[in-house]
Every structure is written in C-alpha cells, then in structure tokens.
Chains A and B, each alone.
Chain A
Amino acid sequence: MTRLHIDWTACHGRGACTELLDGVLRPDDWGYPTGPGGSDIAIPADRIRDARDAVSLCPRLALTLRPSPRT
C-alpha cells in the first residue's frame, strides 16, 4: 500500500491536495487535509497518479509518497 506522508510542520492547509485527491482527502475544520491514516494517507492504486501530482503541486513541499512499512 502506498502512503502519502504529510509533513505537518510544512503544511499550511493550502488545499491543492484535497482537490486532487478528493474522495481520499478532505479539508478539516481549518482547511488541513484529513483522510484514512492521519499523517500517512492510504492511497488506492487508481489514485497514485493524483497523489504524485499532489506531491508535485504542493506549494509547501509538505507531501511525499512512501511505500507503507509492513507492520
């Protein structure tokens, strides 16, 4: 499972990711992205392309894609 890691110290809730990954991420009460996984969002296989775009377009460079560690 690929996960989208959110660096909260960089995120300013600008919202590009919640648009690109609508259905996976939504803005919380204050505009910050929220989705399954908290800080490491589970990305379904068919949304990986959108996740890559989100990583590229985040103006704060707050996102990275990582394979999920086996726990």
Chain B
Amino acid sequence: MIDNQPSVRRLLAAHSPSLHDHVRTFGPRPAPAAAELIGELERAGLDGRGGAGFPVHRKLQTVAAQPRRRGTPIVIGNGSEGEPLSAKDATLLAAAPHLVLDGLLICADALGATEAHLVVGALTEAGVRAALAERSDTHAVRLRVETGGFVGGEATAVVAGIAGGRPVPADRPARLAVSGLHRRPTMVQIVETLAHIALIARHGAVWHRAVGTTDAPGTRLVSVSWGQHTPRVFEVLGGSSLRSLLHAAGAPDATSTLVGGFHGAWVPASALDAPLSVAGLAPYGASPGAGILHPLAQGACGIQVTARTLATLAAASAGQCGPCANGLPRIVELMRELLAGADTVAELRRIAGLIEGRGACHHPDGTIRMLRSALVVFADDVAAHAHGHCLARSEVKA
C-alpha cells in the first residue's frame, strides 16, 4: 500500500503504471553518455538503495573503466527483494515499471551493454511483462523470476541464477563490476536505484538535491511494518526522522525499532528522532540499508522477536559455508536456551565473533550485527530472561 504527501511524489508521481502515463509524467527516455551520466550521479550523491548503500557513480565508473578484452558489459536490475520486511521494490515495479526499465536502459546505453537482465519477484512478473510489451526499446532485456529466497537477492547469487546455476552467493575473486556474469563487467543495481537514475538523467543532480538533506539528498522508498502487519511502502524525503516516518505509517513510534531489515540493527526508542541517513544512524550502529523500519509492537518482547528473526535467518542460509551453516543454528539454539532461562549471552557473543567475516557473503555478518544490537538495546530483557522472567509479559498485549 502506498501513502505519502503529494509533494514527495517523485518515483511515484505517475498516475498509473502505463507507458502512456509514464511518458506524460516524465517525458521521453534520455540517452546520456557514460561520462555525463557518471558525473551527474556523482554530483547527485546517489547511493544504492540496497543494503550496502554503495555510491552509484563509482559502480558505473568501474564498469566503464574495464578494458575491452574483458567483454561487453552487462547490466542487471535486481528486484528480487528477498528481505521479508521489504516491499518497496515490488511496489515500485507495480507502480512505475517504466522508470525502472528506463534506468536499466540508460545504464545499458551509457556502458555499451548489449545484454540487460531484470530479476523480479513472482508476484510482480505479470505487470513487468506487460510493461515490457508496451515498449519498443526493450528487445535486449531478459526478465527472470527470482527463486533464491532471502540470500538469493545478493548480487552474486542473482548473477549465478541468471547464469543457470543455483541462485546462491558465490566466492568471487573480483567484484562483479570487473568480472561478473560470463566473466564480463557486470553492473547490478537495485530497481529503486535504477528508477532514481532514470530521474536524475532527466532532471539533473541539482533537481535531485533540491529535496532531502545534504547527506541524504532526494527521496527514497521505505517499508514500515510492525507485528504481523505486511510492510507499508512510502516515498519519503531523505533525512526524515525515524519517528516521523513511523508516525506517517501509523506504526508505534515510541518503541525500539529495527532499522535496515533483518541484517540491520535495533535502535532504542531514544534514537527515533535521528534522521534516516548514514551519518544520522551511525552513532547507533545502524544504517538506512534498504529503507526498512520495523518497530517493536506494544507488549512484544524484543528478545523473542529477535529469536524468531534469527531462526528465519538461520533457515535462510544457503548452507554452503561451514561457519554460517553451523553457527547460525547454534545461535538459534542459544537464544532458545536464553528464552528458557539460561544465561547464554557469553556463548552467544563468542559464536558471533567466531563466525563474523567467515562466509562467501555477508549473511552471517548481517545476522550478527542484528543480534549484537539486540543484546545492547534489549539488555534489560536479556537480563530478565537469563533469570527466567520476561518483562513483556507484565504489559498488556495490544
């Protein structure tokens, strides 16, 4: 569900997903050359809208700089959105598929790519196919439905799936931008990022920076969810306070909140006036990530929610790497013991330190980050559980 103030509609400015409304709202697709596009994106300060938040212009620069012998570049739009708490990419693909396609093709043209892939979730496939059929410039775009689950959305996993293998992360000696699909320079961008590229290519960096804050310019999509609610998606100004975003969603705005998704970090209620920006969240060990906010529902126990999340993350492991495949289930076991009244915190910390940085992807690292933040933010709950009580049980459940 989409809901926001009229002045913030940029990505979601068109009235319908049709090509006609798209062209009427945004105008035709421009075709900037690589240097021009990269320069504009650098001035705009656009960061990737996936978990890592990597500067977009740098990725394009790396691909553009690869020597010809490495092959013709390939561009990939990643709309697989394996994160359960995120619905922004699916929403964007349903509401503005042509912006995403524009962004993909703008990058393809600028980089001289002759092959473009778009990976989407099963529920958005039909709408995207319809959008592709409306256009005459998408013959080089291949659509694929993601099948990899949570870790399947990781960039090397997406590439592996397109190449015909299992969509699981791969150990790659070089970055994808240098050597990716079929060993060719490959640009992978989240679909929201592509939509921003499509707008910046039209209106320029100054326009992009006209809203938002200096270190979080422009707009971004956020997914807000709590309890059992499915995520609600909003387009918001960069640098908006967490509290204002939660309030606009009708979510609890005075409880500890998971920021960034399952691989993000819990922040205490006292942090909710911080802006959704890299600098604003850094003091809390958090970052905007994929723009996910998940406050604790009233009456819920932060440790129980964390334990359930950890179980989901352990089950989501691709099972390729020993430390992750063994360590995450062990962490889940220790959390269960904690919930049952045993003080397993020291062992939890030890296992966390043991598996950190030891895997083909960042699944264990992201999981540990979330765990560590929970141990800090829910320290009181941890202490209570270690002595056999739950603080949440004494409150009335909503």
Contacts and interface: CB of A to CB of B under 8 A. Distances in A.
Q: Do A and B touch directly, given a CB cutoff of 8 Å in the complex? A: yes
Nearest to A35: B358
Interface in A28-58: 28-32, 34, 37-39
B169 to A, nearest CB: 8
Contacts, number: 53
A7 B327 CA distance: 17
Contact of A29 (B168, B326, B359): B326
Contacts of B321: 8-9, 11
A9 B320 contact: yes
B159 to A, nearest CB: 14
A32 B171 contact: no
Interface string B319-331: 0111110110010
B170 interface: yes
B171 A8 contact: yes
A30 B358 contact: no
Majority secondary structure of chain B interface residues (helix, strand, loop or mixed):
loop
Contact of B322 (A13, A37, A38): A13
Interface string A1-17: 00001111111110000
Interface residues of A, number: 20
B173 interface: yes
A34 B320 CA distance: 17
Majority secondary structure of chain A interface residues (helix, strand, loop or mixed):
loop
Contact size range, B: 20 to 34
Given A30-B323, A30-B326, A9 B356 contact: no
Contact of A32 (B168, B323, B330): B323
A9 B323 contact: no
B356 A8 contact: no
Contacts of A29: 326-327, 330, 351, 354
B322 A12 contact: yes
9 contacts: A7-B171, A8-B324, A9-B320, A10-B171, A29-B330, A30-B327, A32-B322, A34-B323, A38-B358
Given A6-B358, A9-B169, 11 more contacts: A8-B320, A8-B322, A8-B359, A8-B360, A9-B360, A11-B321, A28-B354, A30-B327, A32-B358, A34-B323, A39-B359
